[in-house]
Amino acid sequence: MADKKKHDFLIVGCGFSGALTAMGLTKLGYDVIVVERESHPRFSIGESSTPIADMLLRSIAEEYELEWLKSLSRYGSWQENHSQIGCGIKRGFSYYFHQPNQPFEDTDTHENELMVAASVDNENSDTNWYRPDLDTFLTQKMVDLGVKYVDNTEIKKVNRKDSQFWSVETVNNKSSEKVVVETTFIIDATGSPRFSGMMFNTNSTHANFETNSSALFSHFDGVLKWNDLLKLNGRCTSHQRPYNPDLSALHHIIEEGWMWMLRFNTEKVSAGIVFDGGVPAGNPENVWQNALSKYPSVNKLFATSEISELPGKLYKTERLQRVLDRLQGRGWLALHHTAGFVDPLHSTGIAHSLIGVQRVLKIFKDHKPSDTDVMDQLKEFESLFKKELKMIDLLVAGCYRFRFNPDLFRAYTMLYFVCSIYFEQTYLSGQTPKGFLGADHENLFRLVNSVYSDSLRLDNKSDYEAVQLFVESVKQRIEPYNSVGLMNPLNKNLYHHTAVEM
């Protein structure tokens, strides 16, 4: 059976990127169909928003007349307008350094931690997205806007017809009904390299990445609060933390790599261990428990926890780093998270995905999908994406190298924060930064690359003098971009507000 209408765009996959792209294209006057292999609500991670992501949400909302989308850019307005959609407060980034078989050592000087606030209060904070709720909500908004949506459906084959349009064979997973859809352009929003590999003969590779990590993760109920454990220590009265660390992207830095904890209003917690190298062999539950048991303070947090009903299991990944050799071609492209990924350490996923959505919409605002000059735009889209992926890789890889030494880790992490601040300040000055995190900024990219090269000469056995020389070098080199007092020793590793006002 054939679909009766030829569509301008077929979007494969309906996470938040696919849904927002569909709505933006519809607002531009295109006819869009979205095909989703599963159905909502479904488990998904990629939940930590940032000030950059909030800016991009607001920009997309204004540019494409999606006024309701603005309210999702801050915790206060989210709760006021969409309290039924699960989310959590994210005041900033918190890091705690753990030693094997020792309780976390809390000190008045905060030598085993780093906190970087991204907002002045809870009302104006970023959010942790509970994706089963949010993706379901965005999908319904998309349908309400008139986008044709087909779920529980897989694409089995695509054929190029007369170099003008695609004939797409689909099958419903429940009814086995087969439908042929015709479209001018295909957008891969699946979040995986599998579809484009099968349909467009692309290859996904992890060659040339500096970072090498893998993950074990799920959602949990009954996880105790880190701040409650810190209070039991009775310290830190002389220099107060800028926010409750449970209301943040909480990172526990461990010998194996690091653990994330993102808390939602429902008290569900997204948690995962990211291993430097591969996840150890064995049953996922045993690997998880073995890793936790080495760190008494972290282990205590999960002592009474259970895996949430959704998803009901632990997920184990292969190597996280990947990039498609091609993310565009005649009549198709892959959105950012489909095209490649580095690591969740700096919460770059949502913002980078949104900047990809914004770019795709801009391309098709200025050009029809059948225009001959669209290919030039798509090639630039690919080139910039790959440079940004390299920037993220460098910003992450040095942190893994230095996770055994808090002084080195904190210094290297400042590169990410100055890149974020540069992007935010440029964006809010009325300019549109070309590259995510300043990847197009020649001096900033050179700075990050140079500091990473210097980091290769240090390791966890480096002597005190070498460590201090490196820390001071980073402090001096970021100075032209450091407008918020990062690396000021008077802050004692606690930074109260580093993001620009929106």
pLDDT value at 421 more than 80: yes
- DSSP H helices, 235-348, are 284-293, 296-301, 336-339
Exposed/middle/buried for 416, CB within 10 Å: 0-12, 13-18, 19+? buried
Residue 48 φ/ψ, nearest 5 degrees: -95, 110
CA distance 43 to 263: 15
* Strand 113-117 with 494-495, pairing: parallel
Q: How would you label 47-71 residue by residue, b for 16+ Cβ within 10 Å and e otherwise?
A: bbbbbbbbbbbbbbbeebebeebbb
Which has the closest alpha carbon to 346: 15, 44, 45, 48? 48
Which pair of structure tokens corresponds to residue 275? Answer: 């291993």
- Decide if domain 2-80+130-206+321-380 falls under CATH 1.10.287.90: no
pLDDT at 239: 54
Confidence of residue 4 (pLDDT cuts 50, 70, 90): low
Q: Could you write out the three-class secondary structure of 474-502?
A: HHHHCHHHCCCCCCCHHHCCEECCCCCCC
Taking every pair of C-alpha atoms in the chain, what is the biggest distance, in angstroms?
A: 73
In what order do the strands lie in the sheet containing 322-324?
204-205, 322-324, 340-341
pLDDT value at residue 486: 96
Closest CA to 295 of 268, 260, 255: 255
Mean pLDDT of 426-451: 93
Rounded alpha-carbon distances, angstroms, from residue 458 to 437, 462, 464, 466: 25, 6, 11, 8
Residue 492 pLDDT class (50, 70, 90 cuts): very high
Per-residue pLDDT of 27-50, as tens digits, reads 999 999 999 999 999 999 999 999
Instruction: Report how far residue 188's alpha carbon sits from residue 332's, in angstroms, rounded to the nearest whole number.
Output: 8
Q: Tell me: pLDDT of 501 over 60.
A: no
Parts of the chain belonging to CATH 3.30.9.100: 88-128+212-316
Provide mean pLDDT across the span 372-393: 97
* Structure confidence by residue, pLDDT tens digits, 187-240: 999 999 999 999 999 999 999 999 999 999 999 999 999 999 998 876 554 458
Residue 373 clears pLDDT 70, i.e. is over it: yes
pLDDT band at 377 (very low <50, low <70, confident <90, very high): very high
CATH 3.30.9.100 assigned to domain 88-128+212-316? The reply is yes
Q: Are 408 and 36 in contact (CB under 8 A)?
A: no
Q: Mean pLDDT, the chain, as a whole number? A: 95
pLDDT at position 410: 98
Q: What are phi and psi of 297, to 5 degrees?
A: -70, -45
Is the model's pLDDT at 88 over the cut of 70?
yes
E strands, 82-192, where? 87-90, 92-97, 113-117, 126-129, 148-150, 153-161, 165-172, 178-188
Q: From the DSSP assignment, how many helices (H) and strands (E) are in the chain?
A: 14, 22
Per-residue pLDDT tens digits for 287-323:
999 999 999 999 999 999 999 999 999 999 999 999 9
Cβ atoms within 10 Å of 101's Cβ, excluding its own: 9
pLDDT band at 428 (very low <50, low <70, confident <90, very high): confident
Give dist(CA 415, CA 257) in Å, integer: 19
End-to-end CA distance of the chain: 50
pLDDT of the residue at 237: 45
Q: Give the model's pLDDT for residue 499.
A: 53
* 445, pLDDT greater than 80: yes
Report the phi/psi class of residue 464: left, alpha or beta, with left for phi > 0 and alpha for psi in -120 to 50: alpha
Please work out, in degrees rounded to the nearest 5, the angle formed at the alpha carbon of residue 451 by the alpha carbons of 450 and 453. 65
- What residues does CATH 3.50.50.60 cover in the chain? 2-80+130-206+321-380
Least confident interval from 24-33, 235-244, 430-439: 235-244
Confidence of residue 430 (pLDDT cuts 50, 70, 90): confident
Query: Which residues lie below 8 Å from residue 170, measured CB to CB, with a gap of 6+?
Result: 35, 150, 153, 154, 155, 156, 178, 179, 180, 181
> How confident is the model over 162-182, as pLDDT tens digits?
878 999 999 999 999 999 999
User: Could you read off the pLDDT of 6-16 as tens digits, one per residue?
Assistant: 999 999 999 99
Is 0.85 surpassed by the pTM of this model?
A: yes
Residue 408 tokens read as: 């080195």
User: For residue 161, what pLDDT is reported?
Assistant: 86
- Classify 138 as helix, strand or coil: helix
User: Over the stretch 91-103, which tens digit does the pLDDT of each residue have?
Assistant: 999 999 999 999 9
pLDDT range class, residue 502, cuts 50, 70, 90? very low
